[in-house]
């Protein structure tokens, strides 16, 4: 017995796409060696790739970006403190 997997494939019709956008999509597709249709599919896949992931907070994103650099000490939590202007020596 052979199990067959039938994936559902959706079709989308995009109306009123301006000529400039269409020509840029075609140029981008040529640069990537794809058809315009495949280029648009790749753009859409990329746009929704992480949509189900919980959003990362700004501090966590900054920390992960600089994790390889390392810090000499922990950065203190500033939540709930009032904003103070910077003090510069003259």
**What six digits make up the tokens of 35?**
């058809």
59 vs 15, more confident: 15
Structure confidence at residue 6 as a pLDDT band (50, 70, 90): low
Identify the pLDDT of residue 26: 97
Identify the pLDDT of residue 57: 85
pLDDT exceeds cutoff 60 at 1: no
What CA–CA distance (Å, rounded) separates 18 from 14?
Answer: 10
Identify the pLDDT of residue 43: 97
For residues 30 and 16, the answer to whether their CB atoms sit within 8 Å is no
**What six digits make up the tokens of 18?**
């301006």
Q: What is the pTM of this model?
A: 0.55
**What six digits make up the tokens of 29?**
């597709």
Residue 39: CB atoms within 10 A of its CB come to: 19
Model confidence pLDDT, tens digit, residues 7-56: 788 899 999 999 999 999 999 999 999 999 999 999 999 999 988 988 88
Domain spans of the chain, in order of start:
18-49
For residues 54 and 61, the answer to whether their CB atoms sit within 8 Å is no
């Amino acid at each position: 017995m052979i199990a067959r997997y039938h994936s559902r494939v959706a079709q989308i019709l995009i109306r009123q796409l301006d000529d400039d956008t269409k020509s840029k999509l075609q140029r981008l597709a040529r640069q990537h060696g794809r058809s315009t249709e495949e280029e648009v599919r790749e753009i859409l896949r990329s746009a929704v790739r992480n949509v189900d992931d919980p959003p990362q907070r700004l501090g966590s994103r900054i920390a992960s970006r600089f994790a390889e650099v390392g810090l000499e000490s922990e950065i203190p939590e500033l939540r709930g403190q009032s904003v103070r202007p910077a003090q510069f020596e003259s």
